[in-house]
Amino acid sequence: MRIPHPLARSLVTVRNWPVLIDLAIAGAALAAFFAMISTGVYWLSKPVPVVAISSSIGVLPVYAFYSIVRMAIAYCLSLTFAIAYGYIAAYNPRIEPWMIGVLDILQSIPVLSFLPPVVLAMVALIPGHQLGIEMAVIFLIFTGQVWNLAFSFYSSLKTIPREMIEASRVYRYSGWQRFWQLEMPYAAIGLVWNSIVSVAGGWFALIFCETFTMGNRNFQLPGLGSYIQTATFDGNVRALISGIGAVVLIVVATDQLLWRPLIAWSDKFKFEQVEASERVTSPILTLLRRSAFLGAVPGRIWNSLQEPLLRRLAHSKETRIVHPVDESASRRPSPALWLLGVAVFAAICWAAVQAALLLRTLTWPDLRLLLEGAAATFLRVNAALLISAAWTIPVGVAIGFNPRVARIVQPLAQIMASVPATAFFPVLLIFLVRLGGGLGIGSIALMLLGTQWYILFNVIAGAMSIPSDLREVARLFHFSRWQRWTRLILPGIFPYLLTGMVTASGGAWNASVMAEYSRVKGHTLEVIGLGAQIDAATDTGRFAMLLLATIFISLMVVTMNRLVWRRLYRLAETRFKLEA
């Protein structure tokens, strides 16, 4: 009997890898197909606003399935909206300040402020089906994911090196070619890292929105969020730990199967002239690259679609003319844009009249309570922002610069960030109740769970995007630690840090709702603040209080935007823009 050589056996195994990978891809595609059918059957059934939530561990796979579907749909919508919104804002100087101001306001408004209009609108638009309620929850998850993606893409477009833009015009790129071959690759690193923290924000909204009360109506959908909320309210520690464990398992699987391959893939888009000595790697990405199906079929389909498109674009008017770099600044608004502006203005006027009629029902004690809450929440938000920046900047730079540290810390940071802050809230609340204390200073700690990751992951993205040749120059000229930080690191990460700070501020305002007002085991923990007033007004159906609290948040956000963030964005576009 002839025994094959070990090397021969290993070669046979390597040759079989593509077949096994293709089988795994086919199985995943079939699972996704049946998941779509099951979801469609459930969503088109009769509406059931309140579903009894079981505390059994056996229902967790089904609840996890529903939550993952909601999260995936919301993320796809968020990414599409963020790219479109950021692109329009970056290349239309006339409306750019308005769009960024609106984006800053929307990302700071707590999710509960969107609840009443969104739920009522979706249920009215799709009556008689569960789809209406599901779309309302998906939209609320969307509001927890989209804002930092839009800020990231906008910031990337504004900081593209000028010589790269000039090269695209000299080579007569069409808008489609410039988008796919310059703008999207340049923004890829920031989008990937902000997607991680966006999904974490989506979990925050999911756990908060699958079970909610609106006036005298209750809504409760099957999912991990409602499971964790029910376990918290009942004080069922076993079910609570099981629900959080399920979330952690999903986060770990997502990190290994999705985020790490995307991080390794996006590393090739780093803007540098000297290749780095070490690259980010991913075993899953390596396996996928061995797939015969993924290596052949998608490429052929893309080439068959791309070649006719590029051939047609090559003969278009846009590619026959070399436009000046500042061409966009001289464009006049089209009649369609004027009509859109008039329609938006009319809608704002109508909404202002309706809001004024609603606010007439408030009393002076209500106004005084909201003013005191606004001041308290403003101080907590900024305290959480400063504390977050104090530790995330050095840690993020260490992760982005040091591959050895990154291999250990980066996966742990991704997992901790992707586990939603709301999953930790119940544990902290039960701990506070058993200690016999209230929220107080603890509310700032709860806000930190929803803010610090925005800054950390943007700083990591900024540190990884600093070209290797600049780091080599700093090393050759023997920069001191102070010189490296002031002349290389801080200027290099500044646009990313600014995006992280802006989105972290919005995350803190969103986290204020749960950080300042919560119920656990029959106890109500409350501290003065706008978040507490928004939560209480939602529970009692006092829409006037909810509206005025939202207006106060918007006014404070607009003030910060005009006095601080807009000036810093202008600085990032001019002084700290990476150019030759």
444-482 residue pLDDT tens: 877 887 788 889 888 988 888 888 778 888 888 888 889
Q: Does the model's pTM come out above 0.85? A: no
Sequence spans of domains, the chain: 53-331+362-574
| H or E stretch covering 515 | helix 490-516
Are the C-beta atoms of residues 111 and 140 closer than 8 Å to each other?
A: yes
State the average pLDDT over residues 183-203.
85
Q: CA-CA distances (angstroms) from residue 166 to 34, 176, 323, 514?
A: 48, 16, 9, 48
Q: CA-CA distances (angstroms) from residue 377 to 94, 384, 385, 535?
A: 33, 10, 12, 14
Three-state secondary-structure class, residue 93: coil
Are the C-beta atoms of residues 544 and 147 closer than 8 Å to each other?
A: no
More confident residue, 274 or 24: 24
Q: CA-CA distances (angstroms) from residue 413 to 278, 410, 456, 490?
A: 20, 5, 9, 21
State the average pLDDT over residues 113-142.
75
Name the packing angle between helices 130-158 and 111-125 (round to 10°).
130
271-302 residue pLDDT tens: 665 555 566 667 777 776 766 666 666 656 66
Contacts made by residues 321-326, CB under 8 angstroms, sequence distance 24+: 321/172, 322/169, 322/170, 322/172, 323/169, 324/169, 325/162, 325/165, 325/166, 325/169
Distance CA 111, CA 422 (A): 13
Q: CA-CA distances (angstroms) from residue 580 to 185, 478, 577?
A: 19, 22, 10
Instruction: Name the most confidently modeled range: 38-42, 149-153, 356-360, 575-579.
Output: 149-153
Distance CA 580, CA 572 (A): 16
Distance CA 198, CA 185 (A): 19
Choose among 147, 98, 71: nearest CA to 507.
147
Q: With bands split at pLDDT 50, 70 and 90, how would you rate the model's confidence at 10?
A: very low
Tokens in use for 84?
Answer: 């479109």
- Beta carbons within 8 Å of 553's beta carbon, 6+ residues apart: 105, 108, 109, 110, 113, 374, 509, 530
Q: CA-CA distances (angstroms) from residue 524 to 188, 437, 474?
A: 44, 12, 55
| CATH number, domain 53-331+362-574 | 1.10.3720.10
The amino acid sitting at 35 is: A
35-93 residue pLDDT tens: 777 777 777 777 677 777 888 888 888 888 888 888 899 999 999 999 999 999 888 88
- Beta carbons within 8 Å of 199's beta carbon, 6+ residues apart: 71, 75, 145, 254, 418
Choose among 456, 561, 451, 557: nearest CA to 514.
451
